[in-house]
Structure formats: C-alpha cells, structure tokens
Amino acid sequence: MQIWFLGTGAGRPNKQRNVSSIALQLPEPCSNWWLFDAGEATQHQLMNTPLKLSKLDTIFVTHLHGDHIYGLPGLLSTRSFDGGVTPLRMIGPRGLRRYIETVFEISGTTLDYELEYVELGEADGQLAYEDERFSVVASTLIHRVPCFGYRVVEHDQPGRLLADKLKQLGVAPGPQYGLLKQGQDITMQDGTVIYANDVTAPSLPGRVVTILGDTTPCANVLELAMGADLLVHEATFAAGMEEKAHLFGHSTTVEAAKAAAEAGARKLVMTHFSGRYHNENLLQLEEEAQTLFGAATAATDLTCIEIERRT
C-alpha cells in the first residue's frame, strides 16, 4: 500500500507545490487506487506517477473549498479518454453532486461511465465505504465549511498456507487449498481432519490510514487517528501562529504533532503548507513537529510513501 502526495500546498499553487490531492494505491492483488481531494491540476500531477485514471474507482472529498475540488471536472472528463468505463464512486459533503453536475451541464461534458454519489451528513463516525477488504469511516472536523476526515481501515488478511506442511500431510494443491485458505477445516479420505489453523501462518494485520481535511484541533481528529499506521494532518502554519491558524480553520506543525502523539499514531506526514513557506523551510517545520512526535515528516509534491504492515 502506497500513498502519493500530488499536491501539498494550501489555497493556491506556487512554483514548488500544487494544491491539495492525495492518492492511495491499494495493496495487491488490487490494481485500483483511491483519490482524496483534487485541487486544480491534479491530473497534471498524476502524469508524473505510475497511476492510471482508468484504475481510479473512488474519490473521497474532504470539503468543497476550491483548492480541494477545482481539479475534479477535468480529471473526471479525462478518465473517459483514458479508457475508464467502470463506475466511479464520489464520496464527500452535500453539494458535491450539484457542483459536478452543474459544471458538466454548462460545459456540455458527457462521460463514458457512471458516477455514483455518496453525500455525507454532518455526523461523526459514519460508514462512508465498505467492501470485503476495507472500511472507511468519516467524521466532521472544524473548518469554515463542512469538512471531513477519513479513517481507512484494512481488514486483517488470512495468513499464507504452509505448503511444505500440507505436502507432508498428503494434501494436494487444488480446491482443498482454497478451503483451508478461507479458514475451513477439511477431512481427508482416510478420515484425518486437517485443521486450517495448523497449516496457515498467522493472519496479516490490516493497516490504518487517516487522511484529514482542513481543521483546527478537535476531538474527532484523535478519534480518526487513534492507533493509525499513518496520519496525514494539515500543518498550514508554523509553531507560534496558532491564533492565525485557528482564525482560518487550520492547524500548526506542533498541533499536528500533538495529535499524532496523543492518538498513538506510528507516523505523521504533514501537508497543506501556506505559500509563505518554501521547500527550504520544510526542515524547520519538521523539526518543530519532531519536538513532540519523532516520526513526523513534511511532504513535498510527488512524495511516495510505503505504508508498512505491523508485524
């Protein structure tokens, strides 16, 4: 599982940073990926990654400020040209559907695939998405417009089959392997029972990734980030600028670090930096956060991070 930072700037793009967008590459055997926000020129940033728009199947939107959604119409249109024909889920605040449909109506845009909308109410801990491998919970944050954070939870995966042990027990590859892999015990022709737990390695623990929209410090940040393997938290301003940050519904580096520490996250990646900070300032911003949380880093555009599984 990998996470790509397509845009790490706040408000407007500059020469070093594009505006907000994050891609989450799902683990094998999945070939699909998810997108969190799509600021202006997100599709341009994607050209610098191996991610294909035809494999994008879900977009999560944190809120409807322009630096998080102005890239959506062009990206959705290009997906048709890139061979995207499968339905695409759009999950986000109320008004998301009206925004997209209005732009497409006025511009005469048509798509070769269906858009499926899920508009979230302003509630905490609501299930935004679930399938056999993942669940995603959304909760409200404190910003100037309705805004959400998302907690992506990968379900634990069955351990691998111990092929050498199965061979010793006389179990030939085939349908019985599949049953054991699913955790079902099998009975051999001679009446011997092979217990699935005896011939499989321990299950693989699922990973937790928390991706927040714009926010000032609040209780739901901690709920969403509790025990996360990776927390993505905005850090629009440097330490000491808390009053200005809160005035505009944002956080500072030390507030992001404090949240990661209190939530027991394994790693913190800060993003959504004000245009007043250049990439040369990121080391200072990292050091501010690391005074409270050692595993803190500042993302730059096109940073790709592997999300390690707990052992």
Binding residues for Zn(2+): 63, 65, 67-68, 143, 214, 272
Q: What is the DSSP letter of 279?
A: G
Contact 171, 156 (CB under 8 A): no
CA–chain centroid gap for 99, Å, is: 23
- For the beta sheet containing 208-212, the strands, ordered from the edge strand earlier in sequence to the opposite edge, are 126-130, 134-140, 148-154, 208-212, 230-234, 268-271, 296-298
Q: Spell out the alpha helix ranges (H) of the chain.
A: 42-46, 66-69, 72-81, 96-107, 163-168, 175-181, 219-225, 242-247, 253-263, 282-290
Contact 213, 149 (CB under 8 A): yes
131 catalytic, yes or no? no
In the chain, the amino acid numbered 211 is I
* Catalytic hit among 37, 57, 67, 301: 67
Number of H helices, E strands in the chain: 10, 16
Give the Cα separation of 300 and 289 in Å (integer). 16
Query: Can you spell out the DSSP letters for 76-94?
Result: HHHHHHTT--S-EEEEEET
For helices 96-107 and 72-81, what crossing angle results, to 10°?
A: 60
Contact 226, 137 (CB under 8 A): no
With a CB cutoff of 8 Å and minimum separation 6, the contacts of 32 are 26, 55, 56, 57, 58
Which positions are catalytic?
67
